Amino acid sequence: MTVWEEVRAFLTDPATWSGPDSIPARLWEHLWISVVAVVIAAILVLPLAVWLGHIRRGSGVASTVVNIGRALPSFGILAISFLILVQLGAGVGEPWAVLVALIALAAPPLFTNTVTGIQSVEASTVEAARGMGLTGKEVLSRVEIPLSTPLVVEGLRIATVQVIATATLGALVAWGGLGRYIVDGFARQDMGRLIVGAVLVGLLAVLAELGLGALQRASAPKGARRGDIGNPAQRSTV
Amino acid sequence: MTLVGQSTPLIDWDWVGRNLDQIVDRTWQHLGLTAISVLLGLVISVGLAVVALRWRWTYPPITWVTGLLYTIPSLALFALLVPIVGLNATNAVIALTSYTLLIIIRNLVAGIDGVPASVMEAADGMGYTRQGRFWRMEVPLALPAIIAGLRIATVTTVGLVTVTAVLGLGGYGFFILRGLNTFFWTQILVGVVLSVVLATLLDVGFIWLERLLSPWARRGR
């Protein structure tokens, strides 16, 4: 069978469209775990990051987080999370290990982008706001947070894309999601399953990247769309 | 630390001792896959960066395409390459190389762009040809940025190599996958820890390389 025939065979199999191993079921698993992980990470991390940014501290912590995060492979984080949760009594095949790993992976980009985003608001802008009589809280809610929103959304984009990618590896620790098709495709030498799974995962990641990228551009306050908020994210890559 | 309800320790040092040969083999595999992918990535990126610097309008599409490649999860890219190149090291190297492109190109272009106009004018005034100026002024001054890109690409690649275990390769990732399938914690820990150590060592190596290649930066400080 050619690859196309195998893909067609997989797509015309009734089990592909209904039941626990169907595309809708796997897509749903992949989506809910990704959204829940990003939301929990945001709830855990954003208040601290906003506060640290506001008092203009924590950029050292932010860069340390980035460096450590890069050296730890996401597959490794997932494996260690699985190891610890099974030790703690979680069942194999349950989503907890994957969820914990995804939260751990989503937190660093959200944290660093929020801290640097709020700190990148010009000191002169903050002084002007204070001069106009705004209190510390008002400066935060009406100046710093709106001006840093594009960077926070960028953090959200990076976190989400990474979470979607790593959720794919969940199949390697006995969980489901769309990665199941790829891992099973490799194991069973089922080319149709493998290719369909890979295309779905790739599409999901690219859609999240493009969608949140558009949101990022739209999230800049009207007065600040021409790059006057700076772009520390690009600068930091150099 | 011991397993709950079991007498075997979390790290079985005997296993480590018995399998040193295999650990050494996997180290070479991990290093080899990383080195080939980053070097190939550098070569392709230099080509694309030269194009982007010469014809400015090509830069946005180049970063857009390499950015999309960067977005595709590694497991999916390995899978998509199977019908084209099969289940082998070529597959792994193509995927790993494609992930390095965005990082290296961005730093190459930003590095060259970051050379102050006054330096270029001084070079012109000293009689440098365009090529001479590029190789003897712009490239050395851009080195810190270029090496920063190689550092990030290398550390990222070391992490991604672990996933190539699904292709039967994996370097240290082989131990992680094996450990997961057999519930043998020692193998998982050995795989993860060695992978982090390798990434950190290479990271430090690049810091040294940068110092070595840009002695003028030290003198100034």
Domain ranges (residues) in chain A:
31-175+212-231
Is residue B221 in some structural domain? Answer: no
Q: Look at A155-159, A229-233, B9-13, B39-43 and tell me which has the smallest mean pLDDT.
A: A229-233
Please state, in angstroms and rounded to a whole number, the distance separating the CA atoms of residues A198 and B79. Answer: 6
Interface membership of A209 toward B (CB under 8 Å): yes
Is the pLDDT score of A233 beyond 60? no
- Residue B5 DSSP code: T
Is residue B143 in some structural domain? Answer: yes
A58 or B203: which leads in pLDDT: B203
Which residues pair with residue A92 across a beta bridge?
A: none
Tell me which H or E stretch contains B109: helix B89-113
> Residue B118's domain spans which residues?
13-213
pTM for the whole structure: 0.89
Q: What are residue B9's phi and psi, to 5 degrees?
A: -70, 160
| pLDDT tens digits, A62-112 | 878 777 777 788 999 999 999 999 989 888 888 999 999 999 999 999 999
* Matching residue, tokens 């290296």: B104
| Residues 6 or more apart in contact with residue B137 via CB below 8 angstroms | B115, B119, B120, B123, B128
Interface membership of B83 toward A (CB under 8 Å): yes
Instruction: Please check whether residue B83 is in contact with residue A3, taking contact to mean a CB–CB distance below 8 angstroms.
Output: yes
Is residue B49 in some structural domain? Answer: yes
CATH number of the domain within which B94 lies: 1.10.3720.10
- Tell me which chain A residues have a C-beta less than 8 angstroms from the C-beta of B179: 79
Number of domains in chain B: 1
Q: Do B180 and A172 touch (CB under 8 A)?
A: yes
Q: What is the pLDDT of residue A1?
A: 78
Is residue B219 in some structural domain? Answer: no
| CATH, range A31-175+212-231 | 1.10.3720.10
Token readout for B184 is 């043998």
Q: What is the pLDDT of residue B8?
A: 59
Nearest CA in chain B to A178: B76
How is B138-163 classified by DSSP, letter by letter?
Answer: IHHHHHHHHHHHHHHHHHHHHHHHGG
Interface membership of A206 toward B (CB under 8 Å): yes
- Tell me which chain A residues have a C-beta less than 8 angstroms from the C-beta of B187: none
| pLDDT tens digits, A10-56 | 999 999 999 999 999 999 999 999 999 999 999 999 999 999 999 88
Q: What is the ipTM of this complex?
A: 0.88
Please state, in angstroms and rounded to a whole number, the distance separating the CA atoms of residues A35 and A27. Answer: 12
Is residue B2 in some structural domain? Answer: no
Percent of chain A with pLDDT over 70: 93
| pLDDT tens digits, B146-188 | 999 999 999 999 999 999 999 999 999 999 999 999 999 999 9
Q: Convert B26-44 into a string of H (helix), E (strand) and C (coil).
A: HHHHHHHHHHHHHHHHHHH
Please state, in angstroms and rounded to a whole number, the distance separating the CA atoms of residues B136 and A22. Answer: 59
| Residues 6 or more apart in contact with residue B166 via CB below 8 angstroms | A172, A182, A183, A186, B75, B78, B177
The mean pLDDT of B101-122, rounded to a whole number, is: 92
Is residue B121 in some structural domain? Answer: yes
Is the pLDDT score of B7 beyond 70? no
